[in-house]
Amino acid sequence: MDSKVQSLKAFLGQTGRVALVEVAATKGSTPREAGAFMLVSASAIFGTIGGGQLEFMAIDKARQLISSLEGEMAAKRPGGVLSGSTAKAPRTAATTPSVGSAATLPSRGREARIEVDEVCATLDVPLGPEIGQCCGGRVEVLIRPVDASLEQELIRKAEAEEAQLPHVYVFGGGHVGQALAATLALLPIHAVVVETRADALEGMPETVETILTPMPESVVREAPARSAFAILTHDHALDFLIVAEALKRDDAAYVGMIGSKTKKATFKNWFLKSADGREAEFNRLVSPIGGNAVKDKRPPVIAALAAAEILTALVSHAAEMSGSKTGERVMAG
């Protein structure tokens, strides 16, 4: 499976210079929090600092910085060209303020300021009508070229965040399982689809891990703490076995089963009478997954509702485990 770390390495490994655009500080309402970042090359971007005019301005300034640095390097080479170089030709860019100077943005950005030194630039931007955004806050953005040291720092940070991502296990690769896997692939989680049928795992998103096993309930036992379990296999008896195993995990963030009220009642009867289950354990079961608010049984709709439900449970569980009751970010990534 591919991962964010692999995508990051691929982007950093491309030919040409890359600049890091990072939210250094925020005040009031802003699109992203301090620490959010994106990478910018002459022709591509990786990540986001929130979009809108703020991001457009940052991308433009990052490319100006890249172009300026490439131009300086070319000027220092004998004859202006380094033999055998694979560096791209400098892009045409607007004039960058001189070293150590400050400049106001043109037109509507009268209150925004740019500070530039030899190796980086800082944007201090009010998110108001001056730039066509109405968030109301203020953002300070640091832009700097990515060297070998910073590249390794970014990779180490991404690897650390990826290692802390909560796991979401989807048992069943049918229509809803496929749709749920595609939805979860977009979220900051580690998604795993578990199946007993090899053909049901075909076509899964590249960022989703797949496990083929004749005993899917054993995967529940091996899952890390704070995992979420969504059970929707092709076999109700198999569903019951997996759910019973998941409900024994008191560290699970979420246990959900697809099905009707009748299926849930049947499971409860079996769980309490034949599986040594307890009422308190059963009460942790979410079924049907996705809730009843939207009366739509199409797989993509169920998947969207279930994904939102699972993400909410993961955030809530993480907040409880950390003792946080505020709106702070409690999930890595």
Output the pLDDT for position 82. Answer: 42
Give me the pLDDT at residue 77, please. Answer: 67
Domain ranges of the chain: 16-76+86-161, 166-322
Q: In DSSP terms, which residues pair with 22 in a beta bridge?
A: 37, 142
pLDDT of 211 reads: 98
Residue 112's pLDDT is what? 59
Helix (H, G, I), strand (E, B) or coil at 126: strand
Contact 185, 165 (CB under 8 A): no
The neighbouring-strand residues paired with 208 are none
Q: 122 Cβ partners below 8 Å, 6+ apart?
A: 24, 114, 115, 116, 140, 141, 142, 143
How many Cα atoms within 13 Å fall on the side-chain side of residue 209?
A: 10
The segments of the chain whose pLDDT lies below 50 read 81-110, 325-328, 330, 332-333
| Per-residue model confidence as pLDDT tens digits over 201-212 | 999 999 999 999
Query: What is the pLDDT, as a whole number, of residue 116?
Result: 56
pLDDT of residue 71: 77
Q: And the tokens for 82? A: 């380094």
CB atoms within 10 A of CB 318: 17
Fold classification of 166-322 is: Rossmann fold (3.40.50)
pLDDT at res. 100: 38
Amino acid at 166: P
Can you give the pLDDT at residue 118?
58
